[in-house]
Amino acid sequence: MRNTKVMNRFDLTSRLVKKLKHEEAVIGGIGNTNFDLWAAGHRPQNFYMLGSMGLGFPIALGVALAQPERRVFALEGDGSLLMQLGSLTTIAALSPKNLTMVVMDNGIYQITGAQPTPAAQVADIVAIAAASGLAGSAWAADEEDFERLIDQALAATGPTLIGVRIDDKPGVGTTRRDPVQIRERFMLGLNVRQPL
Ligand SMILES: Cc1ncc(C[n+]2csc(CCOP(=O)(O)OP(=O)(O)O)c2C)c(N)n1
């Protein structure tokens, strides 16, 4: 089903962030995806989802629609996405040209004790995305292929989804849990708030 290398979330997140030169927005999903986004180097255009599984992509969709000239990336765990699969069809139907989703598939709910997710056995996230209408969905074969898919996404004319198989490591850092600060910094970073 997936002839892909098992990679590492922090390494891939760092590779993505290094490629961002135009104040692209990045939305990190609950837990490890936003921990590693934070650890890869905080940017004012980063938003760190706290609390609810599966809201990374819906939030990113809102940002992409509100600011169509800005590229938007969203990072989500496989367990979180499986809890909010309807977001894929909504995104496919609205088809924002500037949104790229990355699914960090470790086949487990790592942060709550490594219980297996359905992606470990029966669900192929990229096949689900393609069948939801996201035709440009692909598994990254290895780190080089991931970087190539990100380069493609930076020039894409429709929403794209990249699946990556990752190891069972927890996030490298821990996001500072201050929701008001996270929101205000992000709004400043997106130029929708004036500095005090
Ligand atoms: C709606 C909801 N249900 C359950 C939880 C508890 N919870 C928080 S993170 C998590 C697991 C996330 O798994 P995944 O998205 O695959 O990321 P990973 O931890 O593997 O990086 C769970 C069950 C929650 N925060 N929200």
171-189 confidence digits (pLDDT tens) = 999 999 999 999 999 999 9
Question: Which ligand 1 atom minimizes the distance to the CA of 119?
Answer: 16
Nearest CA to ligand 1 atom 16: 79
Query: Pairing state of beta strands 25-28 and 46-48?
Result: parallel
Residue 32 Cα to ligand 1 midpoint, Å, equals: 9
The answer to whether residue 163 sits within a structural domain is yes
Q: Which two tokens stand for residue 139?
A: 């598994």
Domain count, the chain: 1
The answer to whether residue 196 sits within a structural domain is no
Mean pLDDT by 10 residues, the chain (196 residues): 87 98 98 97 96 96 98 98 97 98 98 95 95 96 98 97 98 94 96 88
The answer to whether residue 80 sits within a structural domain is yes
The one-letter amino acid code at 15 reads R
Establish whether residue 181 lines the binding site of ligand 1, counting it when its CB lies within 6 angstroms of any ligand atom.
Answer: no
Residue 112 Cα to ligand 1 midpoint, Å, equals: 7
The answer to whether residue 53 sits within a structural domain is yes
| Domain interval for residue 17 | 9-189
Residue 152 Cα to ligand 1 midpoint, Å, equals: 29
Nearest CA to ligand 1 atom 5: 53
The answer to whether residue 35 sits within a structural domain is yes
Q: Which two tokens stand for residue 14?
A: 């760092």
Question: Which ligand 1 atom minimizes the distance to the CA of 31?
Answer: 9
Give the per-residue pLDDT at 129.
98
CATH of the domain at 107: 3.40.50.970
Q: Which two tokens stand for residue 115?
A: 């219980």
Give the C-alpha separation, 152 to 115, whole Å.
34
